Chains A and B, each alone.
Chain A
Amino acid sequence: MNKKYIIVALILLLAISFAVAKSRKITCSGSTTVLPIAQAAAEAYMDKHPDVNISIRGGGSGVGIAALQNGSADIANSSRVMKAKEISQAKSKGINPTPYAVALDGIAIVVHKSNSVANLSIAQIRDIYNGKIKNWSEVGGPKLPIVVISRDVASGTFEVFNEKALGGSKVVSSAQLLASNNAVASTVGSTPGGIGYIGLGYLTEEIKTVKVNSITPNTKTVQDGSYPLARKLYMYTNGKAKGDLGSYIAFIQSDAGQKIVVEQGFIALK
């Protein structure tokens, strides 16, 4: 009886240690915006390298960066650059965060299809979101109250919008805060006076994109940097990415990886 148990335990132990030894593990955590890219790229990468196991969690850019800081993730996915405070926190823990751009994304300003407004300046967008401009007629549109629709203040998309369009000012408290890009798209689509902002990958037929500072958001204007509401998506590692980490990130930056980026609705780096 006793012997049997010992043998079973030994076999189990062997199996576990074998499994651990066999697969090399990479853990990613962070931005839900980067998540689809990281996920699709990881699947393609693991097909070619069956001995590497990549696990990916969402949670938001801040969560990923915190995970990198305390060493519980190898890669922090982030839809924004790290804040100075986050970098100094990481340094104090002996972590040296190194950014790798993996994709580009543009934030489109969208309005209802019936809205005649075709162009807004950054200053006008700021005033609309601050509540200073309340009617579309003030920006050359129909006589219709503006319904301000925003993302939740914790989302990465909001953070970029906040920095690039709002310049850190507060969104008016009457703004509707919705939980996802899709919710913003469908609400703007059904609200004649609505204005919202979403990632370029989420544009639908139901809504109309307006130019920002007279520039149409598309692949070209985002890549050459002329569209003002564009951002880079990053993967942060501790120090220079080496070994499996390095080759996974290099894979995403390669032509094959960038094809995946485009398939996921984002814009390639070049």
Chain B
Amino acid sequence: MKTFKEKSFQTITYTAALFTVACLLGIIFGLFREGLPIFKHVGLKEFLFTNNWYPAHAEPGFGALALIVGSLVVTLGSLIIAIPLGLGAAIFLSEMAGPRLREITKPVIELLAGIPSVVYGLFGMAFLAPLVREWFDLDTGLNVFTASLILGVMIVPVICSMGEDALSSVPKNLREASLALGATRAETIFKAVIPAAKNGLAGSVLMGFGRAIGETMVVLMVAGGAARIPSSIFDPVRPLTSTIAAEMGETVMGDLHYQSLFALAIILFLITFVSNLITESMLLKRGKK
């Protein structure tokens, strides 16, 4: 009987794993099948490197450069905000905070991840954007800066909790050795612990990157949606995700516009796929050490 239980359990978990992989393959297949036909009408080079996004116009244009740049700019901005906050919080939690304080602080930071993104978006649109407009005396508050600010806060928990994992998995005797050699606490953290955890920390940043570039609701509501390459951080942009979300609702299945949105999804997929791949390989390296 026990062997039967064992075996059935094995089969169930095995199928679950297989099924998950099948889902991923299905998504990839679907994306490429719907998105690739657009390249019969528009060259890959034109699609990626021209700035002419008029998909529903009488003479449609499918140059997605501004959308790709928009995505990258907003994500970069959010990382500039989230890396110091996230890694700082991670170092504090793992190295400085006592067990009591850590038990309170960590869940509070992680609570940030539990707030639905549409709530962040509403907050940004209703409160933050008008404030930003007044602070900097701008024409509009819906821009790269506001979107980056909100996205940055959103991805702090991702970077913090992964960074904290990486730091706490550094063996204790490394710290003890460093302190025993006469290093101060700061020296220990910056010269011993952080270098030892650097792959994990880099992984946490890349994870944050993947999360930020794929975020849709916030950028749809706060980034402004102008399909133009921004010349300052106070210009509105139109990231890939918000373009897909805003336009997919009213396109007809199978027409050029529909295919072009899937092609945007392919670009997005490739970006996150590569960043995840790098993260995984870094974490793998850390595991081997």
Are A60 and B251 closer than 8 Å at their CB atoms? Answer: yes
Cβ of A177 within 8 Å of any chain B Cβ, yes or no, is yes
Interface pair A177/B245, CB less than 8 Å apart: no
In the bound complex, CA of A179 to CA of B241 (Å): 13
Binds A, one of B33-41, B133-141, B184-192: B133-141
A62:B225 contact, CB within 8 angstroms:
no
What is the CB-to-nearest-CB distance from B273 to chain A, in angstroms, rounded to a whole number?
27
Residues 56-86 of B, flagged 1 when their CB comes within 8 A of A and 0 if not, give: 1110000000100000000000000000000
Give the complex CA separation of A20 and B154 in angstroms. 48
B226 touches A (CB below 8 Å): yes
Q: Which of A32, A63, A154, A156 contacts B246 (CB 8 A)?
A: A154
Considering only residues 191-236 of chain B, those with a C-beta below 8 Å from chain A are 220-221, 224-228, 235-236
Min distance, Cβ A170 to any Cβ of chain B, angstroms? 6
Among A147, A168, A170, point to the contact of B139 (Cβ < 8 A): A147
Are B251 and A62 in touch, CB under 8 angstroms? yes
Are A193 and B139 closer than 8 Å at their CB atoms?
yes
Report Cα–Cα, A193/B257, bound state, in Å.
Answer: 32
Residues from chain A with Cβ under 8 Å of B126 in the complex: 186
Rounded to whole Å, the gap between the CB of A231 and the closest CB of chain B is 16
Known interface pairs A66-B252, A179-B220, A183-B125. Does A154 touch B247 (Cβ–Cβ under 8 Å)?
yes
Q: Is A194 an interface residue (CB 8 A)?
A: yes
Assess whether B57 is in contact with A153, with CB atoms less than 8 Å apart: yes
Are A62 and B226 interface neighbours, CB within 8 A? no
Complex interface: chain B residues within 8 A of A173 (CB): 51, 53, 66, 226-228
Decide if A174 touches B57 in the complex (CB within 8 Å). no
Given contacts A183-B125, A187-B142, A152 and B236 within 8 Å (CB-CB): no
Name the A residues within 8 Å of B57 (CB-CB).
Answer: 153, 168, 170
**A118 interface contact, C-beta 8 A:** no
Residues 242-264 (chain B) with a chain A CB within 8 angstroms: 242, 245-253, 257
Task: Tell yes or no: B129 within 8 A of A by CB.
Answer: yes
A175 is an interface residue with CB less than 8 A from chain B: yes
Given known pairs A176-B236, A179-B246, the reply for A66 and B253 (CB within 8 Å) is yes
- Is the beta-carbon distance between B140 and A194 smaller than 8 angstroms? yes
B55 near A: Cβ within 8 Å? yes
Contact B133 A191, beta carbon cutoff 8 Å: yes
- Mask of A49-67 contacts with B, CB within 8 angstroms, 1/0: 0000000001111110110
Q: Which residue of A lies closest to B66 (CB)?
A: A173
A155 within 8 A of B: yes
Task: Confirm or deny: A94 has a beta carbon within 8 angstroms of a beta carbon on chain B.
Answer: no
Most buried by B among A32, A61, A191: A191
Q: Which B residues lie within 8 Å of A154 (CB)? A: 55-56, 246-251, 257
Number of residues from B at the complex interface, CB < 8 A:
38
B227 touches A177 (CB 8 A): yes
What is the minimal beta-carbon distance from B100 to any residue of chain A, in angstroms?
A: 43
| A residues 158-206 in Cβ contact with B at 8 Å | 158-159, 168, 170, 173-179, 183, 186-187, 190-191, 193-194
Q: Does A145 contact B (CB under 8 A)?
A: yes
Residue among A66, A147, A152 with the highest chain B CB neighbour number at 10 A: A152
Give the Cβ gap from B74 to chain A, nearest Cβ, in Å. Answer: 14
Q: Would B247 and A191 count as touching, CB distance under 8 A?
A: no
Residues of A contacting B247 in the complex (Cβ-Cβ under 8 angstroms): 152-154
Interface residues of A in 31-71 (CB under 8 A from B): 32, 58-63, 65-66
Asked whether B88 is an interface residue with its Cβ less than 8 Å from the other chain, the reply is no
Give the docked Cα–Cα distance between A32 and B251 (Å).
12
The reply on B29 being an interface residue by CB < 8 A is: no
Residue among A32, A154, A179, A186 having the largest count of chain B Cβ atoms under 10 Å: A154
Asked if residues A62 and B250 are in contact (CB atoms below 8 Å), the reply is yes
Contacts of B248 in A (CB 8 A): 154
Tell which of B66, B130, B142, B252 touches A176, judged by Cβ atoms closer than 8 Å. Answer: B142
CB-based contact B130/A179 at 8 Å? no
Pairwise interchain contact B133-A153, C-beta atoms closer than 8 A: no
Q: Report the minimal beta-carbon distance from B248 to chain A, rounded to whole angstroms.
A: 8
Q: A32-B249, A32-B250 are in contact. List 4 more A-B contacts (CB 8 A).
A: A152-B225, A158-B56, A174-B226, A179-B225
What are 26 sample pairs from A and B whose C-beta atoms fall under 8 A apart? A32-B250, A58-B249, A59-B249, A60-B251, A61-B250, A62-B250, A147-B140, A152-B225, A153-B54, A153-B247, A154-B55, A154-B249, A154-B251, A159-B56, A173-B53, A174-B236, A176-B224, A176-B225, A176-B226, A178-B225, A179-B225, A186-B126, A187-B142, A190-B129, A191-B141, A194-B140
